Structure 1
Amino acid sequence: MLKPLTTTPTVVEPETSESEGDHDRFAHYARKSDILKSAVSGKPVIALCGKVWVPSRDPDRYTVCPTCKEIFERKKEAESGG
């Protein structure tokens, strides 16, 4: 009688591809009014750093874009007379 063949389990890893912008995982600064309009219209907004995107993720899950943060702090300092 033949002995049954043993098999090892196979792990199937799904193929993934990065969609446009997946390499950039930062929370960006944009005008609140633009973000609200985007939520209604689905149109993209422009961040302080120049990134154009449609906000759809929770920004609290990501670190703040260093360029946006720097621009925001400089604007705040200039407005306060510093």
Structure 2
Amino acid sequence: MTTASNPSTPTVAPIETPTVDPLHDNVEPGDHERFAHYVQKSKLTGAMVNGTPVRALCGKVWVPSRDPGRFPVCPECKEIKAKLTR
């Protein structure tokens, strides 16, 4: 921390405060940036607006933030959806 030349002048030092977000603690790293996953449509809108995590059919948990049309569909989600829609 630096000291001011004038004692009445306050000094400001950056403070690193770790951000703890219990909502996103269960978000998994991984393929959500490589694949588009299937999630319940009713949950997707709220997740996009509020930044809350969703769970895909394959079990992947993440916070959706990108255009899924830019990615191939997750093979595991695709397989599960095919079994459910028979």
TM-score (norm 2): 0.62
User: SS of 1:63's equivalent?
Assistant: coil
More strand, by proportion: 1
Q: Equivalences for 1:1-12 in 2 at 5 Å?
A: none
User: How many residues matched?
Assistant: 58
Which 4+ residue blocks in structure 1 deviate beyond 6 angstroms?
none
Residue 55 (structure 1) aligned with residue 61 (structure 2): no
Matched AA of 1:56: S
Q: Which runs of 5+ in 2 are unaligned?
A: 1-28
Bigger radius of gyration: 1
Residue 39 (structure 1) aligned with residue 48 (structure 2): yes
Q: Which runs of 5+ in 1 are unaligned?
A: 1-19, 78-82
Q: Could you tell me the percent identity over the aligned residues?
A: 60
CA RMSD of aligned residues (A): 1.6
Q: Is the 8 A contact 2:32 2:62 kept in 1?
A: no
Please give the alpha-carbon distance, in whole angstroms, between the structure 2 residues aligned to 1:41 and 1:23. Answer: 18
Of residues 7, 15, 26 in structure 1, which corresponds to 2:35? 26
TM-score (norm 1): 0.64
Please give the alpha-carbon distance, in whole angstroms, between the structure 2 residues aligned to 1:22 and 1:33. Answer: 22
